[in-house]
Amino acid sequence: MALSRQKLGKLGEQIAKKNLKKKGYRILQTNYHCQAGEIDIIAQKKDCLVFLEVRTKSSLEFGSPEESITSSKKRKLVSTALSYISAHKELPSSWRIDVVAIETNNNGDVKRFDIIENAVTNSE
């Protein structure tokens, strides 16, 4: 039986955190909320602050994980990132928004894990 959307999302975030740490990311915060919106993972890689939107899908029936991010969501991600940056002056000034695209089978086993750097830009 397929995982519920909420369970699949939580599983995706756990998979993302584990893989990001292996790839040299230092996780600073997860599920950051502010008035502008929410960001799944905030991390640092070398001297760059990285905001990560995790998208997990067990079926490509409605497109790939990265295709599921609407332009409205992209604008919210940028606003949320800028809000976080303004509240954390001690962090690196260079930053980007990446998308973690995860595809699983119905049991939650990972079939694909990709980090798409600069998937969302400040101009969107």
Position of tokens 């909320």? 33
The pLDDT of residue 1: 55
Q: What is the CATH number of the domain that holds 111?
A: 3.40.1350.10
Q: Give the whole-angstrom CA distance, residue 87 versus residue 45.
A: 19
pLDDT, the chain, mean: 93
Our count of domains for the chain comes to 1
* Residues of the chain where predicted confidence (pLDDT) is lower than 70: 1-2, 123-124
Bridge partners of 32?
39
Domain that holds residue 95: 5-120
Total residues found in the chain within this entry: 124
Spatial CA neighbour of 80 closest among 105, 46, 53: 53
pLDDT (0 to 100) of residue 122: 74
Nearest alpha carbon to residue 49 among 111, 114, 118, 113:
118
pLDDT tens sequence across 46-78: 999 999 999 999 988 889 999 999 999 999 999
